[in-house]
Amino acid sequence: MTNSAEVHEALRKIDEQVAMSQHRAQLMQDLAVQIEAIHVEVTSPGGEMTVHVDANGRLIDIDLTSRAMALEPSRVRTLLLDSLDEAYEEATRRSVALASAAFGPDAPTVAGLRENAERYRPQLKREEDEQ
């Protein structure tokens, strides 16, 4: 190969790498928008309440029915915590599914989402934990 051909080949490879990097960056931006749009609703088994959480499992809203008002406060608390826990799990599952679809199930991005979901899992204090 001539010096000129080697330079052209090196430049072609650099162009390919830049294009791949730009594509991956766009995938990451798209993924971030999709994950940010995740909103999960979970209704308690008896229909006493529905919790609404964002992609990070943070409580956005809660709808209570008259059934909830008839319960003992400790039961309402348990239903709320159970619903929040379930909603967090669902938000995590959706985020991981989106990342897996974009990058493949074994991608570092997917592993990072799973690790962060566990690391930042809300520490919901249960009454039985306090005894």
Q: Map out the domains of the chain as residue ranges.
A: 1-37, 38-130
Nearest Cα residue to 124 out of 90, 75, 85: 85
Between vectors from CA 75 to CA 70 and to CA 77, what angle results, nearest 5°?
A: 110
Read off the pLDDT of residues 87-106 as tens digits, 9 standing for 90 and up: 999 999 999 999 999 999 99
Read off the pLDDT of residues 11-31 as tens digits, 9 standing for 90 and up: 999 999 999 999 999 999 999
The CATH T-level fold of domain 38-130 is Ybab; Chain: A; (3.30.1310)
Read off the pLDDT of residues 30-62 as tens digits, 9 standing for 90 and up: 999 999 999 999 999 999 999 999 998 899 999
What is the pLDDT of the chain when averaged over all its residues?
92
pTM of the full structure: 0.81
